[in-house]
Structure 1
Amino acid sequence: MARAIFQEDRCKGCGLCTAACPTGIVVLDASRLNSKGFQPAIVTDKEKCNGCALCARMCPDLVIQVER
Structure 2
Amino acid sequence: MIKNVFARYLVFLTVGGSLLGGAAVGLAGMAGAATPSGPGYSYAPSVKADPAPEATPGWHNHKGIWHINALRNR
Same fold (TM over 0.5): no
User: Going by fraction, where is helix more abundant, 1 or 2?
Assistant: 2
TM-score (norm 2): 0.17
The answer to which structure has the higher strand fraction is: 1
TM-score relative to the length of structure 1: 0.18
* Higher normalized contact order (CA 8 Å, seq sep 6+, divided by chain length): 1
